[in-house]
């Protein structure tokens, strides 16, 4: 549904997107993960027909973004990074306007449907300017979905809203998965890990890793990672932990260490060491740092 | 076509729905009303009513009025980011610009039509030259189209409305009084040519004195077409930046 092949985008001499390829299928949420300036927005703007490619081939919903731009635009729902709204329109008029501009069949009915879907029906006569940040985000999603697009492109939809609303947006995105192909960008790793089936990590316009969230995690580390905080002298504790056969890797983290090893043995070995040396275990918890590892490694 | 109409309708809604538009409309009618009233007073005993009075007044008012009416059109879409949604909707770039320009012209047409009330009064109490009067209305309507097209053009160049208004104001002043420099060189031929390039030259020398010339209509239509064409190119070029 989204096919990107050797996409290059230059702004003058500056290469913002440097020869990237990836695809996304119906029923799949693909995360575009990368720090600010990685090229996420640029990539999305090309997919939506906003700007032309410098080179490469990009197909959305089976149509070439350059040759069949109108076909693509009709089939894409897009929520830009800063949700663009007309403050002086009513909620209903706003959604209806986009429904009509995108030649939606039964625009009025569809408008009612999406307003209901996003819990905006009772506010439909309100001016857009009176909506809270969270409701604006929902309105942004409503306009992106009103024409029943097969591909949905959301540029950092959880940025700048409060945690409760973030959860809400994530749930909505998950619920849309069944009938759509979704491309979701973020610079927050845990979010992508939670929501997306697959992730494409980009940095400086290049793909640095790609795969399902599980596989990517395994590439860097198999097994378990634990955060342990043991009372005592750091160097001494480190030596003790290091000497454990179950531990394959150790690194300093906060006031303790992150150790890695193979499954349950690890937990057991730590308890053993603590008991043997009469140490005090202040904290021990599993850490889920699979993607974060890759991210940090790749991006730095 | 459909998209142009939708854009047009939204914009007209904005004009008719915003308090500022009513303030501007009221100021417009007040100004024209006072002028008409003065002329009416003078007509008792001194001189007959001037048939092109209101259009002639509007020719200078529009220099300021057109930038104010049009500054919002595209600059605001850019600032709010809604231009990105418009440019990713399945509509042509030209329908966006044309729809917006036509809405400004239509709003002006409504205001202009309201001043016809004064003309009805004029006709009912005296015998003005009606064809002269209507000709001057046609003239100012075309003239306004050109001024609003220039305003639309500058609104497309920036996301700062004030800057857009300023740029179109300067351009309109130059286009209006531009022939003034010919007074420095004192060459009548040059003065004539320059006068014929100005917005004023195609109104004061014809429509205002009861003359209809094809060249004036072509001049204003030409400005509209060129300004709107450039505005469309500028909006399209957003995609390349
Ligand atoms: N219109 C533009 N002109 C020039 N450079 C741009 C433009 N838009 C983005 N860039 C640059 O391209 C790079 C990628 O930007 P962007 O796609 O917005 O990244 P992201 O969305 O991942 O933060 C950045 O270095 C940015 O400064
Ligand atoms: Mg971005």
ipTM for the predicted complex comes to 0.90
User: Which H or E element spans position A104?
Assistant: none
Test site for ligand 1: of A36, A39, A40, A186, most ligand atoms within 8 A of the Cβ:
A39
Q: Which tens digit of pLDDT belongs to each residue from B2-49?
A: 999 999 999 999 999 888 778 888 888 898 889 888 888 887 777 777
Looking only at the bridges linking them, the beta strands covering A256-261 and A247-253 are antiparallel
Tell the residue number behind the tokens 């980011």, with chain if given: B81
Comparing C-alpha atoms, which of B45, B64, B29, B28 is closest to residue B176? B64
- Tens digit of each residue's pLDDT (9 = 90 or more) over A158-191: 887 888 888 888 888 988 888 899 999 998 877 8
Does the pLDDT of residue A220 top 70, yes or no?
no
Residues of A in contact with B81 (CB under 8 A): 80, 82-84
Residue A51: which of B80, B86, B239 has the nearest Cβ?
Answer: B239
State the residue for tokens 């509509």: B91
Q: Please give the structure tokens belonging to residue B158.
A: 């920036």
User: Across B23-32, B189-198, B199-208, B226-235, which has the greatest mean pLDDT?
Assistant: B226-235
3-class secondary-structure state, position A211: strand
* DSSP-assigned letter for residue A37: T
> For B91, which of A86, A88, A101 is closest by C-beta distance?
A101
Average pLDDT of the residues in A264-281: 85
pLDDT averaged over chain B?
A: 90
Three-class SS string for chain B?
Answer: CHHHHHHHHHHHHHHHHCHHHHHHHHHHHHHHHHHHHHHHHHHCCCCCCCCCHHHHHHHHHHHHHHHHHHCHHHHHHHHHCHHHHHHCCCCCHHHHHHHHHHHHHHHHHHHHHHCHHHHHHHHHHCCCCHHHHHHHHHHHHHHHHHHHHHHHHHHCCCCCHHHHHHHHHHHHHHHHHHHHHHHHHCCHHHHHHHHCCCCCHHHHCCHHHCCCCHHHHHHHHHHHHHHHHHHHHHHHHHHHC
Closest CA to A282 of A246, A237, A220: A237
Fold of A223-287: Alpha-Beta Plaits (3.30.70)
Domain coordinates in residue numbering, chain A: 2-211, 223-287
Question: What does the alpha-carbon distance between residue B92 and residue B86 come to, in Å, rounded to a whole number?
Answer: 9
DSSP H or E segment with residue A150: none
B150 pLDDT higher than 70: yes
A contact test, residue of B13, B89, B92, B96 with most A CBs within 10 A: B89
Q: Percent of chain A, pLDDT > 90?
A: 54
Q: Is the pTM of this model over 0.90?
A: no
pLDDT tens-digit readout, A108-160: 999 999 999 999 999 999 999 999 988 999 999 999 999 999 999 999 998 87
Which class would CATH give A2-211? alpha beta
Residue A285 bridge partners (DSSP): A227
Inter-axis angle of helices B93-114 and B130-155, to 10 degrees? 140
Please tell me the least confidently modeled range out of A266-270, B31-35, B136-140.
Answer: A266-270
Higher pLDDT, B201 or A214: B201
Shortest-distance Cα residue to atom 2 of ligand 1: B241
> Is the Cβ pair B85, A102 closer than 8 Å?
no
Query: With an 8 Å Cβ cutoff, are A48 and B88 in contact?
Result: yes
Q: What is the largest CA-CA distance in chain A?
A: 74
Backbone angles phi, psi at B131, to 5 degrees: -70, -35
Q: How far is residue B123 from each of residues A77, A132, B111, measured CA to CA in Å? A: 57, 56, 20
**Averaged pLDDT, A187-200:** 84
Q: Give the whole-angstrom CA distance, residue A28 versus residue A76.
A: 15
CA distance A135 to chain B (A): 17
pLDDT digits (tens, 9 = 90+) for A41-81: 999 999 999 999 999 999 999 999 999 999 999 999 999 99
pLDDT of residue A298: 60
CA of A17 relative to ligand 2 center, distance in Å = 12
Buried b (16+ CB within 10 A) or exposed e, A243-267: ebebbeebeeeeebbbbbbeeeebb
Highest mean pLDDT among A163-172, A195-204, B118-127: A195-204
Q: Can you tell me the distance from the alpha carbon of B143 to that of A30, in angstroms, rounded to the nearest whole number? A: 54
Q: What percent of chain B has pLDDT over 90?
A: 52
pLDDT band at B205; cut points 50, 70, 90: confident
């Amino acid at each position: 549904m989204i096919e990107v092949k050797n996409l290059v985008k230059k702004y003058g001499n500056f290469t913002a997107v440097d020869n990237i390829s990836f695809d996304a299928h119906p029923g799949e949420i693909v995360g575009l993960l990368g720090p600010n300036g990685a090229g996420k927005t640029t990539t999305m703007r090309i997919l939506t027909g906003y700007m032309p490619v410098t080179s490469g081939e990009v197909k959305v919903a089976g149509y070439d973004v350059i040759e069949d731009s109108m076909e693509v635009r009709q089939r894409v729902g897009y929520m830009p990074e800063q949700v663009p709204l007309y403050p002086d329109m009513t909620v209903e008029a706003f959604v209806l306007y986009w429904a009509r501009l995108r030649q939606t069949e039964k625009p009025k009915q569809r408008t009612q449907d999406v307003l209901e879907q996003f819990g905006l029906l009772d506010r439909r006569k309100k001016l857009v300017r009176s909506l809270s940040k969270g409701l604006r985000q929902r309105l942004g999603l409503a306009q992106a979905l009103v024409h029943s697009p097969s591909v949905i492109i959301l540029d950092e939809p959880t940025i700048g809203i409060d945690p409760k609303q973030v959860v809400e947006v994530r749930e909505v995105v998950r619920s849309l998965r069944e009938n759509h192909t979704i491309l979701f960008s973020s610079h927050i790793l845990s979010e992508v890990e939670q929501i997306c089936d697959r992730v494409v990590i980009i940095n400086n316009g290049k793909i640095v890793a790609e795969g399902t969230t599980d596989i990517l995690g395994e590439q860097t580390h198999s097994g378990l990672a634990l955060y342990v905080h043991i009372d005592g002298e750091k160097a001494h504790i480190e030596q003790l932990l290091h000497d454990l056969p179950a531990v394959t890797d150790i690194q300093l983290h906060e006031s303790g260490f992150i150790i890695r090893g193979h499954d349950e043995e690890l937990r057991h070995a730590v308890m053993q060491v603590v008991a043997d040396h009469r140490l005090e275990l202040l904290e021990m918890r599993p850490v889920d740092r699979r993607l974060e590892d890759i991210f940090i490694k790749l991006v730095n | 076509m459909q998209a142009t109409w939708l854009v047009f309708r939204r914009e007209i809604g904005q004009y008719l729905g915003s308090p500022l538009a009513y303030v501007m409309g009221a100021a417009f009618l007040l100004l024209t009303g006072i002028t008409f009233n003065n002329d009416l007073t003078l007509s008792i005993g001194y001189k007959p009513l001037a048939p092109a009075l209101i259009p002639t007044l509007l020719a200078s008012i529009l220099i300021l009025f057109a930038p104010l009416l049009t500054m919002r059109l595209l600059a605001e879409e850019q600032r709010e980011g809604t231009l990105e949604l418009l440019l990713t909707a399945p509509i042509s770039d030209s329908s966006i610009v044309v729809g917006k320009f036509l809405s400004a012209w239509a709003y002006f047409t409504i205001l202009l039509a309201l001043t016809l009330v004064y003309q009805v009064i004029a006709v009912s109490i005296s015998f003005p030259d009606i064809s002269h009067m209507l000709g001057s209305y046609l003239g100012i309507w075309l003239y306004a189209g050109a001024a609003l097209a220039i305003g639309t053009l500058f609104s497309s160049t920036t996301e700062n409305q004030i800057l857009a208004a300023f740029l179109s104001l300067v351009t309109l002043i130059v286009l209006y009084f531009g022939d003034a420099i010919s007074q420095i060189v004192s060459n009548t031929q040059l003065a004539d040519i320059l006068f014929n390039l100005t917005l004023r030259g195609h109104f004061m020398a014809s429509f205002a004195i009861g003359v209809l010339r094809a060249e004036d209509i072509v001049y204003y239509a030409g400005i509209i077409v060129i300004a709107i064409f450039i505005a469309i190119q500028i909006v399209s070029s957003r995609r390349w930046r």
